[in-house]
A = this chain, B = another copy of it.
């Protein structure tokens, strides 16, 4: 009799889902997919929830609706508390599961480089709750300013820390919201005077992109009214205050809302289960995305530190997670069949970030674009990779509507007292 192998996948992000989809095609495996949430989150568009363009359900797809037809997949909404690698057991809140193969795809969360108290004053943007909190605080700041116009200069001031794609997209999007989308909505204040400050520690925005695109991005953000501060290190964050240091000296700047987009770290699970982790708590894996001592345990995506041949870790982008997810699924199936596997190789298919309406940057091996065409490409790619037909349609309609009306329809303060 052929006993089916049990593969446990932790995390239904980009990596975990790709692994599950590929594995499910093989009827000799049973798969259990565990996630703390009931939805897969399309993180690249999370900033559009934070800035009131999209609704949470547009980018949060029920995991069960993705796997309902994959009969060898069981989904559990639960939290993994510990992994016992030597006994092949995953511990959940109230039960335990044994596995033949384990794929850890737990992703990343906001990281404050050890300054955990900054979290209270500078929320990150990694999940729907974060996005709704930022949306609430952003929208409430305008309402407060309308109620107290004498305080509007102080209230309409937003600081974004971190000049990577998330920081750039947030800054561009907040500028658009305040400077054009809602500027006819108020009677006592002029929202076009809102101040948006983007702080980056290095010498360029979008440091992982070609420098030409970084320079372009800075210029265009500034044209849209974003103040960009490069080479600026954050020394401390307090309530509505950021202490910075740059070549011009040290300074304290205040902001009604301070958003942290400067760093992430892997989920804490790994540290508690005896994994070899790097400074960002990512599990160091070998060229097969697995552990030398436990070759049937795989770690992929943002949860892992995979070094390329030149010793650099792969970037924390969805493309890496997805390719690794498919790779480890294929590896497991080959192992079950008694075949060997080649090491994982990441194929960089390109990189993009949007600056705002009709403007983006995109780079591909050998070629790069900016402006309207890059923006169209960005829209297309993000719709294409969106999971679920209903979501694609819903997002497309919202974008078309927003484009023609300059509107942001999800401008809902959901629960002011709670945030």
Contact = CB atoms under 8 A, between A and B. Distances in A.
Contact of A95 (B38, B75, B147, B416): B147
Given A74-B188, A148-B94, A407 B65 contact: yes
B398 A394 contact: yes
A154 to B, nearest CB: 16
A12 to B, nearest CB: 13
Given A68-B185, A148-B94, A390-B401, A410 B143 contact: no
Given A38-B413, A413-B37, A182 B64 contact: yes
A235 interface: no
A198 to B, nearest CB: 26
Interface residues of A, number: 56
B187 A74 contact: yes
Contact of A413 (B39, B148, B390, B415): B39
Given A38-B139, A147-B77, A409-B391, A128 B55 contact: no
Interface in A138-155: 139, 143, 146-148
A185 B132 contact: no
A254 B55 CA distance: 35
A407 B390 contact: yes
Nearest to A39: B412
Oligomer copy total: 2
A132 B38 contact: no
B143 A68 contact: no
Interface string A377-414: 00000000000111101100110010001010111111
A275 to B, nearest CB: 26
**Which of the listed residues A57, A77, A393 has the most CB atoms from chain B within 10 Å of its own CB?**
A57
Contacts of A58: 55
Contact of A128 (B38, B186, B412): B412
A78 interface: yes
A56 interface: yes
A125 to B, nearest CB: 15
Contacts of A185: 62, 64-65, 67-68, 75
Contacts of A75: 146, 185, 187
A184 interface: yes
Contacts of A411: 38-39, 57, 62, 64-65
Contacts of A148: 94
A356 interface: no
Interface string A72-115: 00111110000000000000001100000000000000000000
A27 interface: no
A294 interface: no
Question: When A and B form their complex, which 8 residue pairs have the shortest distance between CB atoms, in order from nearest?
Answer: A64-B185, A57-B410, A55-B55, A62-B411, A77-B143, A74-B187, A38-B413, A68-B184
9 contacts: A39-B413, A55-B56, A55-B410, A65-B409, A68-B185, A76-B147, A77-B143, A77-B413, A397-B397
Interface of A: 37-39, 55-58, 60-62, 64-65, 67-69, 74-78, 94-95, 128-129, 132, 139, 143, 146-148, 182, 184-188, 388-391, 393-394, 397-398, 401, 405, 407, 409-416, 418
